[in-house]
Structure 1
Amino acid sequence: MKTFSIDEAQSLLPLLESLLKRAIDGKNAAKEIESQLVELGRRIYLAGGMRVNVADVGRQRTEMDAHLQRVRESVAEIDAIGVQVKDVDTGLLDFPCRVDDQVVLLCWRMGETAIEHWHTIEDGFNGRQPVDERFRRRSNSSNRPN
């Protein structure tokens, strides 16, 4: 498992924020199209049927699939870096970090200016604690197997 120092994780934030924004925008665009399609289905049901431009509906579905593909690709790029996507909607990321012979997770959420929190793997987001001096002393990343 790749682990990051706080400096390494911090240096990745501009790239990761860009990838997250692309994923969030894609997810929102896909949701909007899905809502339009659901509304169309509701209108068809309430009217007892109606003429539908099948080509337009097909185009919307294709567009929705393209947005969802961008979401998957963005998340896959983040994952390939070794960073864990915990929640696309809030832009929540975890960076594995080795400190005191234990792997913990540096925790960052879109909108935060820096990585200032960490938590154990078991405690998750609710167990977030402020980053302390132990993390600042660690300067090298490692690729130790699990």
Structure 2
Amino acid sequence: MDRIFTLDEARSLIPTIMEEARELIAARADLAEIAYDRQQSGTSPLGGLAEIKGIEARIEEVLSRWTGAGIEVKGIAPVLIDFPAVLDGVSVRLCWIEGETSLGWYHRTELGFPGRRPLP
């Protein structure tokens, strides 16, 4: 069964999520830079295949921690996650996206990101 978060539970995880998201964002940028450099010149000062594999493993570790905790990862560029929840008897997703400093949005489960509203 999928985990259902209370608003307080989800909000208590946001500081850790933000810290881990910073790690993921840095790794994402390193991957982009390595790929670009290798395409342009065949090499990158950030490394080669071994470094790419290591960066990918770091990203996967963060994503696995989140999904293992019941958090739904919707994207990594930008980082977008949902916490399954129930508000007023309705299935919703408490929604956080890279750049936000708190958990302040939700959307009905079936509507997704376009149905995003501020939390009451």
Band the TM-score falls in, shorter-chain normalisation: 0.7 to 0.9
Higher relative contact order (CA 8 A, sep 6+): 1
Shift of 1:63: 0.6
- Number of residue pairs matched by the alignment: 118
- For structure 2, the residue ranges without an aligned partner over 5 or more in a row are none
Shift of 1:100: 3.3
More helix by share: 1
Residue of structure 1 in register with 2:100 after alignment: 112
Residue of structure 2 in register with 1:136 after alignment: none
What letter is aligned with 2:74?
A: K
* Cα separation, 1, equivalents of 2:85 and 2:48: 42
- Output one character per residue of 1:39-65: Cα deviation in whole Å (capped at 9) or x when no partner: 135xxxxxxxxxxx9xx9xx5111111
After the TM superposition, list the runs of 4 or more consecutive aligned residues in structure 1 that deviate by more than 6 angstroms: none
Percent of aligned positions with the same letter in both sequences?
31
- For structure 1, the residue ranges without an aligned partner over 5 or more in a row are 42-52, 133-146
Which is greater in Rg? 1
TM-score, scaled to structure 1: 0.73
* Cα separation, 2, equivalents of 1:28 and 1:114: 23
* Cα separation, 2, equivalents of 1:36 and 1:27: 14
Question: RMSD of aligned C-alpha atoms?
Answer: 2.0
Residue of structure 2 in register with 1:26 after alignment: 27
Shift of 1:111: 2.3
